[in-house]
Chain A
Amino acid sequence: MSTVIAEGVIHVTNDCKACDHCTSICPTGAISGMLGQKHHIDPRLCVNCGQCLINCPFGAISDASSVEMVRQALNDSTKIVVVQEAPAVRVALGEEFGLAPGTNVKNKMYAALRKLGFDRVYDTEFTADLTIMEEGTELIHRVFNALGVEGFESSGPLPQFTSCCPAWIKYAEDKYPHILPHISSAKSPQQMFGPVAKTYGAMKLNVDPEDMIVVSVMPCTAKKYECDRPEMIASGFKDVDYVITTRELAEMIKADGIDFLNLADEDADKFIGLSTGAATIFGATGGVMEAALRTAYEILSEEKLDKVEFEAVRGLAPVREATVEIPVKALGTKLPVHVCVVTGLKYVDSVIEDVLAGRSTYHFIEVMNCPGGCINGGGQPIRRDTY
Chain B
Amino acid sequence: MSEIKGKVLKHDQQTRMMHWVHLICFIILGLTGIAFYWDINIISNIFGGPANASLVHRWTGVLFLTGPTIYILLNFERFSRFIDTISTFTKNDIAWLKTMGGYVPFIKVEHAPPQDKYNAGQKILGGLIIIGCLLIILTGFPMWLWRYTLPAAFLSMCYNIHFWTAIIMILLVGGHFFLAAIHPKSRVEFASMMMDGYVDAEITAHHNESWFNELQKVE
Listed in ascending order, the chain A residues whose CB lies under 8 Å from chain B are 17-21, 23-24, 34-38, 55-58, 384-386
Given the known interface contacts A18-B36, A19-B159, A36-B55, the answer about A385 and B147 at a Cβ–Cβ threshold of 8 Å is: no
10 contacts between A and B (CB under 8 A): A21-B147, A21-B148, A21-B155, A35-B58, A35-B144, A36-B53, A36-B55, A57-B155, A57-B156, A384-B153
Q: Is the CB of A24 within 8 A of B148?
A: yes
Within 8 Å CB of A55, what residues of B? Answer: 152
Within 8 Å CB of A23, what residues of B? Answer: 148
Within 8 Å CB of A36, what residues of B? Answer: 36, 44, 50-55, 57
Q: Is the CB of A18 within 8 A of B50?
A: yes
Within 8 Å CB of A384, what residues of B? Answer: 151-153, 156
Q: Is the CB of A37 within 8 A of B51?
A: yes
Contact of A18 among B54, B153, B154, B155 (CB under 8 A): B54
Q: Is the CB of A37 within 8 A of B153?
A: no
CA–CA, A309 and B149, complex, Å? 34
CA–CA, A55 and B44, complex, Å? 27
Contact of A38 among B50, B58, B149, B150 (CB under 8 A): B50
Within 8 Å CB of A34, what residues of B? Answer: 51, 54
For window 17-44 of chain B, which residues contact chain A by CB distance below 8 Å? 36, 44
CA–CA, A385 and B153, complex, Å? 7
Q: Which of B149, B156, B159 has the most CB of A within 10 A?
A: B156
Task: Report the 6 A-B pairs with minimum CB-CB distance, sorted nearest first.
Answer: A36-B54, A24-B148, A57-B156, A57-B152, A384-B153, A57-B155
Within 8 Å CB of B151, what residues of A? Answer: 384
Q: Is the CB of A57 within 8 A of B51?
A: no
Q: Is the CB of B153 within 8 A of A57?
A: yes
Q: Is the CB of A56 within 8 A of B152?
A: yes
Which of chain A's residues has its CB closest to B37's CB? A17
What secondary structure prevails in chain A residues at the interface with B?
loop
Chain A nearest CB from B184 CB (Å) reads 41
Say whether B166 faces chain A, with CB atoms less than 8 Å apart. Answer: no
Q: Is the CB of B51 within 8 A of A19?
A: no
Contact of A37 among B50, B148, B152 (CB under 8 A): B50
Within 8 Å CB of A385, what residues of B? Answer: 153
Which of chain A's residues has its CB closest to B53's CB? A36
Within 8 Å CB of A386, what residues of B? Answer: 153-154
Q: Is the CB of B156 within 8 A of A35?
A: no
CA–CA, A35 and B156, complex, Å? 14
Say whether B136 faces chain A, with CB atoms less than 8 Å apart. Answer: no
For window 50-92 of chain B, which residues contact chain A by CB distance below 8 Å? 50-55, 57-58
Chain A nearest CB from B82 CB (Å) reads 35
Q: Is the CB of A57 within 8 A of B159?
A: yes
Within 8 Å CB of B36, what residues of A? Answer: 17-18, 36
Within 8 Å CB of B144, what residues of A? Answer: 35
CA–CA, A20 and B55, complex, Å? 13
Say whether B169 faces chain A, with CB atoms less than 8 Å apart. Answer: no
Q: Is the CB of A35 within 8 A of B54?
A: yes
Which of chain A's residues has its CB closest to B32's CB? A36
Q: Which of A21, A23, A24, A38 has the most CB of B within 10 A?
A: A21
Say whether B143 faces chain A, with CB atoms less than 8 Å apart. Answer: yes
Within 8 Å CB of B150, what residues of A? Answer: 21
CA–CA, A309 and B139, complex, Å? 46
Chain B nearest CB from A293 CB (Å) reads 34
Chain A nearest CB from B95 CB (Å) reads 44
Within 8 Å CB of B44, what residues of A? Answer: 36
Chain A nearest CB from B178 CB (Å) reads 31
CA–CA, A364 and B184, complex, Å? 82
CA–CA, A34 and B49, complex, Å? 11
Q: Is the CB of B143 within 8 A of A19?
A: yes
14 new A-B contacts, CB < 8 A, other than A19-B155, A34-B54, are: A17-B159, A18-B54, A19-B147, A35-B54, A35-B58, A36-B36, A36-B50, A36-B53, A36-B55, A36-B57, A56-B152, A58-B156, A384-B151, A385-B153
CA–CA, A232 and B210, complex, Å? 86
CA–CA, A36 and B143, complex, Å? 11
Chain A nearest CB from B146 CB (Å) reads 10
Chain B nearest CB from A317 CB (Å) reads 18
Chain A nearest CB from B139 CB (Å) reads 12
CA–CA, A37 and B35, complex, Å? 11
Chain A nearest CB from B11 CB (Å) reads 35
Within 8 Å CB of B156, what residues of A? Answer: 57-58, 384
Contact of A35 among B51, B149, B152, B153 (CB under 8 A): B51
CA–CA, A18 and B52, complex, Å? 13
CA–CA, A211 and B151, complex, Å? 46
Chain A nearest CB from B116 CB (Å) reads 42
Within 8 Å CB of A20, what residues of B? Answer: 147-148
Which of chain A's residues has its CB closest to B154's CB? A386
CA–CA, A21 and B156, complex, Å? 10
Chain A nearest CB from B152 CB (Å) reads 4
